Amino acid sequence: MKRIAFIGLGAMGKPIAERLLQGGYELTVFDVNRDSMAPLIAAGAREAASPKAAAEHAQAVFAMVPDAPDAEEVALGVDGVLHGISAGAYYIDMSTIDPITTRRIGARLAEAGAKMIDCPVGRTTKHAREGKLVLMIGGDAADIDAMMPVFELLGDTFIRCGPLGNGTATKCVNNYVAMACNAISAEAFVIGKKAGLTPEHMLEVFGTTMASNAQALQVFPQFALAGNTEPGFMIALGHKDLRLAIGLAHSYDCAVPVGQATMDIMAKALEAGMGRKDCSSLLLMHEKAAGTTVRLQGSGG
């Protein structure tokens, strides 16, 4: 396999596409934001005018777009991948969407003879640049095997989740937990500060007890506790992922009181204009309400 197309060059998509180009693949790219394509084109990628055009000569087409309607438009729209992809080619959707949409896209592509894998990713943009993502993969085992040499360029942890759609279902459940941990950690740091604790003290304890979670121990020290609100993962995307996870839960008649409370908190952050800030920036709302500031020593934030 030599010819790959990549559609969607956002915060995660761009470094993933760069890994493919650096890995020696003949890469074609498309994004609605033409400026996002420029660095990849300068590095040797070919520009496509549409998802259809990107797919026409590709043996594998990757897509990574923000939400389910975007994924459906890219795959099945008038200028979508469906109308350009070759029989026997692979379509790998790395978007965080819902499994119902994933399976609907997969069924349409199968009619054209294409093979679909859903493969959302976990971890951060730093891990994307380093090829150390976790890939949550759904699809036929033989198709996944065929794509593994490409996947191994992108990640170091590969979770085979079952049939098509199970990758996106896994990502929904994962981000449901991650956003709840994010919200409760923001509250906890402010409570602790008001009680006379330092964030260093709290982090040390969290790291040795059942309170341990990656949001508190890894994300907050790098972002909110350091006064850094630039997004590793935006509040707007976290809110979207919660919406998807709660919609999935409702389809199975599952109760979601904690998830709903978390989404309500994130909705308040959106209303406050914080959508493009890092998810840990929920801390700022709690700081303001409590009249305090929680920062790591020497952070300068």
- For the purposes of burial, counting CB atoms within 10 Å of the CB of 2, is it exposed (0-12), middle (13-18) or buried (19 or more)? exposed
Q: Using the 8-state DSSP alphabet, how is residue 233 labeled?
A: S
| 28 touches 55 (CB < 8 A) | no
Active site residue 171: yes
Find the farthest-apart pair of alpha carbons in the chain and give their distance in angstroms, rounded. Answer: 64
Find the catalytic residue in 14, 171, 240, 277.
171
CA proximity to 185, closest of 203, 171, 200:
203
CA proximity to 5, closest of 21, 33, 28:
28
Query: Which residue has 């959508």 as its token pair?
Result: 275
Q: Which residues are within 8 A (CB) of 119 and not within 5 positions of it... i.e. 6 or more apart? A: 92, 93, 94, 135, 136, 137, 138, 139, 151, 167
Could you tell me how far CA 116 lies from the centroid of its own chain? 19
Catalytic residue IDs: 171
